[in-house]
Structure 1
């Protein structure tokens, strides 16, 4: 049996790439060569997690000592993490993977962190986990916002009855294809481009980076990206009249869209994340949480660029919804829109903080939002309760229970087609990575956040369009 332990084995159980790694490899392959590999790795994980418990060990004492010394060496210009961070609230904890909780634990140790919370759809991401909410003091974290800046949901409820949709599905499918465009890097050309006030914003002249992105932003205006972005028709049901939206009890045709700031946002995210990492030196486990001080020029630049990208994402949805309204000829009874992958200035416990919601929906008291399920599971129109423990937030969807790679390997096209057929859903595009089975049960997620939102209406998908190749914007 192969017993040799490698550097990759040690990195997998939590060791860091430093001098201790070489020390550990030499030691264990000399002293523990005759033992089962799994047993030795389990022992080494304990040493790595609690080196202070092994200082008196005859064999492992020198390794434990070296680990503690390494941990206490503050590298040049490196910002130390807080040793005893504030606690944070987790909603639906038993359904959240350890990787997401570990990432949130690290985020809470940042010296600028004020408070945090983890939503029930949380899963591991880059820097802050998807579903992570983090409040900071005068600092903004580009990877705490995310790559797809200002990604959002937008809902239009029409005065079109359910029966009309069921009898005219060919028309709705035709318009869904005609009025939407999908895929990473995709855009409109020539006379197909749409104009919008967003393209005239002064922020495009703020620096050369944004100026260089203006033409691309124009081309991609009114388009949707890859991955989990969609434009779909469904039936929304109000079980009672909603006075605020002025909609009577009943079932209506609705258009629901999900996408973000396209290449504009992705490029801004990449540029300012790199800049933050060069200016904010954090320990290895926290490097993707590098932040910019809002008192600096770089921090202010990112803040303005982030807000531009968020408004651009909103403009993209507006273009799609306006086109569809004209094409269908129906009256829009109500529109609701909310975004995630963003940072807001808010008051928490009497002080101004920067609230990062990476894959989390704003849920302040009375704030409307849309929480989708999957292409076959229902979504929910909600109204926030303003729960302070969640930092006025809720989940942004069902959340993945399978990685994209895992979904592609384990789900067959036949399985996916059968699930769609069972739910009466017509699908245009989408890869297996977006199969319904790749997502958590939305009903379980909603049950974990009854303290955070009230359900106003239930949306059932009927016709879904996504990127043909399952691509993502990078």
Structure 2
């Protein structure tokens, strides 16, 4: 199989070490550039043995340069702790080894104080999705994630659950016209919405952030691709909740999931690159490069991250306001929580920076929303403040299979049958977002009974998503 992908194990087998040279080699291999797999491996070995011979090669020059300077690079590298700190794992039997390995590396960072892995965890970049990491005065851009401030927002309306049946087509049209979906999508100038977040001082005082203002305005009130959604469903409160002021019963509710769009992604890319230039970590930890909050760069990222979080919240606010007005409904209660963020919090009496990459804040009495999938229950929860979990819980069901695996193995017919059985109308989305691609939400919830109490359930009924994360339907 000459086009089979070359991986790190293949490079180890021909003499490479797990260092930055391996990373450069794998990056070159992605392009392949007309080489067969065997030809590429032969050349990689030749470059390893005689890098000076390839200093003028248009393809392998970057690899040759790294190999010749590897000793200097390693001298500049910040050493990891010899032993990883222990960390709590919830639902360990349902978490893939790749996520545990990533968490193990994160627990060896010199700035790490504590960590925890949530039951929906799966492998990501740097910190695993579902990973929680507390650090000492340092923020990790990839520990926050690319979609900074991604969040859930729930509005419960003064309309009965039956409204879904009696006004089904109306609700479909409301979802179709209340936002835009997918990478790069936004609103035309005459459609744009104003919001106070666009008046943030960084848009005026920071050259890099100022260059993103038009993109931010264009995408304000839009939604992302992938697993982001806007959906109507039935919210069921089995008993009264005094804090929320909602009586027992079933209500029409709106649930949204999205983040900071192009603004956040651009900020994440910029500061991740900067962190890697400043904080040179060993190859296996390179995506965990951090910025000291005592430095100008660390403070810049912190301010930009918080702006992206505010912007993500503004996007949900615009969507929910549009839909509430379209329905002419009153709001009974609204709950919002975010992940892909870093917070200054107290842990064991000390201030730490808590990164929650795909994890929900679950401090004592903190409200949160944990969705399942497009055809399974979601849960409104109240945090218990479990310090072992660093006051966190899962942010969803978590992926059971990769998007590529889902596309290759799942059946559109089976998805259609499942949706019909559950009475779910789907607008957009690809097979990679099928419920079968996710862990069982009930298994995930049973693994975190020490972390949250369930207050109410949400059953999706009309679900709006991007077709494939890049185009509208």
Q: TM-score range by the shorter chain?
A: 0.7 to 0.9
Offset of residue 330 of structure 1: 1.1
Q: Distance in 2 between matches of 1:75 and 1:347?
A: 35
Q: Quick check: 1:290 aligned with 2:289?
A: yes
CA contact (8 A) 1:156 1:333 kept: yes
Offset of residue 18 of structure 1: 6.0
Q: Distance in 2 between matches of 1:416 and 1:373?
A: 15
Offset of residue 11 of structure 1: 4.5
Check 1:356–1:8 CA distance in 2 against 1; reply closer, same or farther (3 A cut): closer
Q: Quick check: 1:393 aligned with 2:429?
A: no
Residue of structure 2 equivalent to 1:431: 430
Q: How many residues were matched structurally? A: 420
Residue of structure 2 equivalent to 1:217: 216
State TM-score, norm by structure 1. Answer: 0.86
CA contact (8 A) 1:106 1:285 kept: yes
Q: Distance in 2 between matches of 1:471 and 1:433?
A: 14
Check 1:11–1:436 CA distance in 2 against 1; reply closer, same or farther (3 A cut): farther
The equivalences for 1:246-325 within 5 A come to 246-325=245-324
Equivalent position SS for 1:219: helix
Q: Distance in 1 between matches of 2:421 and 2:220?
A: 35
Q: Distance in 1 between matches of 2:392 and 2:8?
A: 38
Q: Distance in 1 between matches of 2:248 and 2:84?
A: 47
Give the aligned CA root-mean-square deviation in angstroms.
2.1
Residue of structure 2 equivalent to 1:147: 146
Q: Distance in 1 between matches of 2:399 and 2:208?
A: 33
Q: Distance in 2 between matches of 1:19 and 1:191?
A: 48
Note the alpha carbon deviations across 1:202-223, whole angstroms, 9 max, x for none: 0123422101000000000000
Residue of structure 1 equivalent to 2:28: none
Q: Quick check: 1:407 aligned with 2:424?
A: no
Equivalent position SS for 1:76: helix
Q: Distance in 2 between matches of 1:286 and 1:395?
A: 24
CA contact (8 A) 1:152 1:339 kept: yes
Q: Quick check: 1:111 aligned with 2:110?
A: yes
The equivalences for 1:66-105 within 5 A come to 75-105=74-104
Equivalent position SS for 2:162: helix
CA contact (8 A) 1:433 1:470 kept: no
- For structure 2, list consecutive stretches of 5 or more residues without a partner in the other structure: 23-69
Offset of residue 9 of structure 1: 4.0
Offset of residue 300 of structure 1: 0.2
Offset of residue 8 of structure 1: 5.3
State TM-score, norm by structure 2. Answer: 0.86
Offset of residue 10 of structure 1: 3.6
The equivalences for 1:3-14 within 5 A come to 9-11=9-11
Equivalent position SS for 1:75: helix
Q: Distance in 1 between matches of 2:368 and 2:20?
A: 49
Equivalent position SS for 2:396: coil
Equivalent position SS for 2:443: helix
Q: Quick check: 1:344 aligned with 2:343?
A: yes
Q: Quick check: 1:245 aligned with 2:248?
A: no
